[in-house]
Amino acid sequence: MRDEGADTATFEQWYADAHPRIVRALAVTTGEPDVAADATAEAFSRAFERWDRVSAMSNRDGWVYRVAVNDAKRRLSRWRRVLPSRDRARVASDPADLIPDRELWDAVRSLHDRQREAIALRYLAGLDERGVAAAMGTTEGAASSTLSTARARLREILEEGR
Amino acid sequence: MNDLERRLGQLVGTIDRPDVAGLERRASARRAARHRRVGSLAVVLIAVTGVVGVAAWQMAQDDGPVLTEVGTTDPTPTTDPNPTTNPSPTTEPSEDDAPIRYPVLDHDICERTVERFSPTDRDLPDERPTRIYIETSPISVQIVGTRDELPDRYAVILRVLDGVRQDAWQPRVFETGVGHARIDLGDGTWLYLRTRGLSLTEVESIVAALEPRPLTAAIPGVDLATTAGVEILAEAPELVWVDARSSTCQIDSSRPMGPQIHVAVWSGPMASDYAGAIDAPPPIYMREQSDGSLLILWGASALIDASMLDDVVEGDR
C-alpha cells in the first residue's frame, strides 16, 4: 500500500532542495523572474500531482525544469500578445536584491537562447553536463560545447565592458 | 570554481517558494479549468491567426509533413488515399502520464498496422522502422507569392535559427505540386522553403533572389531581390519557437511513398499554430499532454485512428 505521508515527506524534501535551483535557472532562461516564479510553481504542482511517477525518474530536476519552461513560454507568449513592449518593461520586476550583479545579468541576457539556457542549467540549477544535456534534449557533447562557447562569450562581453 | 562561475551561481537572488498546500490548490484549479477547456482545443488548433493562419488554411490541404523531412535526403510526402477535410483532434489530456518527449509508435503496433494495410508485402528492412528528428528552434515564417495567385501558388519560407549546420537540398517539385528547398546560410541559420503550385523554375528563381536579413533584424527572415517576380505577402510578427520531435513508422523503406504513420510532440507557445499551419495533413489526431505539449498522430486515414495515440511510447534519443 502506498504510504502517502512518506510520499509527501519525500516530495517536500526534493521540493525544498530543487525549487530554488530550478526557479533561478528559469529566471535566467526566460529573463522574467516573475514568470519564472509562477511557471516553476506550476511545474512543481504537476510533479506533486503525479509524484508516484516523477519520483521514479532518474532526472526529475530536468523533467520539472522542462515542464516549467514550457509553461513559461506559454505565459510569455500570452503576455506579449496582450502588453506592448514598453508596458512589459514596466511590469517586469527585477529589483537589485533579486539581480545583484546587473553587469553579468545583462551579459547573460545577450547570449543566444541555447547558450543562456545551458548556463542557467549548469550554474543556477546546478546540473552536471549530462543533466544539462538531458534537460535541453541534446547530447552531452553538444551541451559541453554550448557551455564552453557561452563561457567564452561571457568573458569577452565582460572584458569589452571594461 | 573560477570567478565567473562563482558569479553565475549568485546571479539571481532568492525567489519565494509556495508551500505544498499552495501547489495542491494549483492542481485543483487546473483540474477545474481542464474540464472547462475540453472541447475548445480543436477550435484553437484551427483558428490560427495572422500569417500562420493563411498558411494553415493552405497547408491543411497539403499532402506532406515538413518537419519530419528535416534531416532526411529523401522526403516522402504522405499519400492519403482517403483524405478527410477536417482535422479530428481528440481533446482529452493524458493527465495520468508523464509527457512523452521522444515519440515513437510502438513497434508491434506499427508493424501490425502497416501489414494490415499491405498484407502481401511483409518484408522488413534491417534498420529500425522509425526515424527521429529533433528540433528546438526559433523560426521566422514568411509567405511569398503574388496576391492574385493566392491560395493556389505561394511559398512559405522558414528561417531556422538553431545554430545547426544542415545539408542543402536542391530545389525540387514533386508530382503533387508541392516543392521545397533547403539552404544553409553558413551563419548557424538555414532556410526551408515549402512551395505549392510553383514550377521548378519558379522555385529556383525565388531561391536565387533570397537575401537573408541581418540576424539583428526584428524578424531575421529574408528579403527578396526584385528578380524574384514575387513579393513577401506576409510574415509572422514574431519568431515562432518550436520544439518538435517526431518519428515515422514506415515498415517498407523500399517504397518511399508507401504507408506511413507519423507521430510528433510539439511544445512552445506557437506549437499548436505551427503544427496546424505547416505540418498537419488530415486526418490528424491530437492530445494535450500533462506538460501542455501536444502529442500528434497523422497518416493515411486507412491506417490510423484516435486510439493509436495510446500506442505512442517514449523512444530512444
Higher pLDDT, B225 or B92: B225
Of A69, A94, A119, the last residue of a domain is A94
- The residue segments making up the domain with residue B264 are 50-314
Nearest in space to B167 (alpha carbons), one of B192, B142, B199: B192
Q: Which chain B residues contact residue A74 at CB under 8 A?
A: 269, 292
Q: Is residue B43 part of a domain?
A: no
Interface test with A, best of B1, B6, B11 (most A CBs within 10 A): B11
Residue of B nearest to A26 (CA): B12
Number of domain units in chain B: 1
Interchain CB contact of A9 with B (< 8 Å)? no
Contact A123 B5 (CB under 8 A): yes
Q: Count of residues for chain A?
A: 162
- Residue B299 region by backbone torsions, left for phi larger than 0, else alpha for psi between -120 and 50, else beta: left
Q: Is residue B18 part of a domain?
A: no
Contact A104 B8 (CB under 8 A): yes
pTM of the model: 0.45
Q: Which residues pair with B295 in a beta bridge?
A: B265, B287
Q: Is residue B129 part of a domain?
A: yes
Of A45, A71, A94, the last residue of a domain is A94
Interchain CB contact of B24 with A (< 8 Å)? yes
Instruction: Quote the pLDDT of residue B179.
Output: 83
Nearest in space to A78 (alpha carbons), one of A137, A32, A20: A32
Higher pLDDT, A99 or B97: A99
Residues A77, A114: one domain?
no
Nearest to A123 among B8, B14, B245 (CB): B8
Interchain CB contact of B94 with A (< 8 Å)? no
Of A79, A94, A109, the last residue of a domain is A94
Phi, psi of A128 (to 5 degrees): -80, 180
Residues A7, A58: one domain?
yes
Q: Are strands B261-267 and B169-173 parallel, antiparallel or unpaired?
A: unpaired
Residue A124 banded pLDDT, cuts 50, 70, 90: very high
Contacts 24+ apart (CB under 8 A), B169-174: B169/B73, B171/B200, B171/B203, B171/B204, B171/B207, B172/B75, B172/B200, B172/B203, B173/B198, B173/B199, B173/B200, B173/B203, B174/B64, B174/B75, B174/B77
- Span B181-222, pLDDT tens digits: 889 888 888 898 888 888 999 999 999 999 999 988 888 899
- Give CA–CA dist B269/A71, Å, rounded: 9
Q: Which three cell numbers stand for residue B222?
A: 529574408
Q: Which three cell numbers stand for residue B235?
A: 510574415
Interchain CB contact of A142 with B (< 8 Å)? no
Residues A87, A129: one domain?
no
Residues A28, A62: one domain?
yes
- The residue segments making up the domain with residue A87 are 1-94
Q: Are B138 and B130 in contact (CB under 8 A)?
A: no
Asked whether residue B40 carries a pLDDT value surpassing 60, the answer given is no
Q: Which residues pair with B169 in a beta bridge?
A: B182
Q: Which three cell numbers stand for residue B6?
A: 562563482
Q: Is residue B14 part of a domain?
A: no
Residue B93 CB neighbour total at 10 angstroms: 20
Interchain CB contact of B27 with A (< 8 Å)? yes
Residues A71, A30: one domain?
yes
Nearest to B18 among A41, A112, A155 (CB): A41
Q: Which of the given ranges, A44-58, A88-102, A145-159, B220-234, has the highest pLDDT on average? A: A145-159
Nearest in space to A133 (alpha carbons), one of A123, A124, A145: A145
Q: Which chain B residues contact residue A28 at CB under 8 A?
A: 11-12
Residues A33, A106: one domain?
no
Residue of B nearest to A114 (CA): B162
- Give CA–CA dist B300/B287, Å, rounded: 18
- Give CA–CA dist A160/B211, Å, rounded: 31
- Give CA–CA dist B170/B181, Å, rounded: 6
Residue of B nearest to A35 (CA): B15
Residues A80, A120: one domain?
no
Number of domain units in chain A: 2
Nearest in space to B6 (alpha carbons), one of A94, A101, A36: A101
Residue with grid cell 514575387, as numbered in its chain: B230
Residue of A nearest to B289 (CA): A67
- Span B77-119, pLDDT tens digits: 222 323 232 333 333 344 445 788 888 887 777 776 766 555 4
Interface test with B, best of A44, A49, A93 (most B CBs within 10 A): A49
Residues A117, A60: one domain?
no
Residue B123 CB neighbour total at 10 angstroms: 8
Average pLDDT score over chain A: 83
Q: Which chain B residues contact residue A104 at CB under 8 A?
A: 7-8, 11
Q: Which three cell numbers stand for residue B317?
A: 534519443
Contact A45 B23 (CB under 8 A): yes
CATH number of the domain to which A30 belongs? 1.10.1740
Q: Which residues pair with B142 in a beta bridge?
A: B157, B235
Residue of A nearest to B49 (CA): A81
What is this model's ipTM?
A: 0.85
Q: Is residue B32 part of a domain?
A: no
Residues A80, A105: one domain?
no
Q: Count of residues for chain B?
A: 317
Instruction: Quote the pLDDT of residue B27.
Output: 81
Q: Which residues pair with B222 in a beta bridge?
A: B212
Interchain CB contact of A8 with B (< 8 Å)? yes
Asked whether residue A86 carries a pLDDT value surpassing 60, the answer given is no
Q: Are B281 and B176 in contact (CB under 8 A)?
A: no
Q: Which three cell numbers stand for residue A66?
A: 522542462
Residues A89, A114: one domain?
no
Q: Is residue B27 part of a domain?
A: no
- Span B293-302, pLDDT tens digits: 778 887 776 7
Interface test with A, best of B291, B293, B317 (most A CBs within 10 A): B291
In whole angstroms, how far apart are CA B268 and each of A33, A75, B49, B134? Answer: 19, 10, 16, 14
Enclosing H/E stretch for B242: strand B240-249
Residues A14, A88: one domain?
yes
Residues A64, A144: one domain?
no
- Give CA–CA dist A8/A14, Å, rounded: 10
Q: Is residue B87 part of a domain?
A: yes
Q: Which chain B residues contact residue A44 at CB under 8 A?
A: 23
Instruction: Quote the pLDDT of residue A49.
Output: 83
Residue A138 banded pLDDT, cuts 50, 70, 90: confident
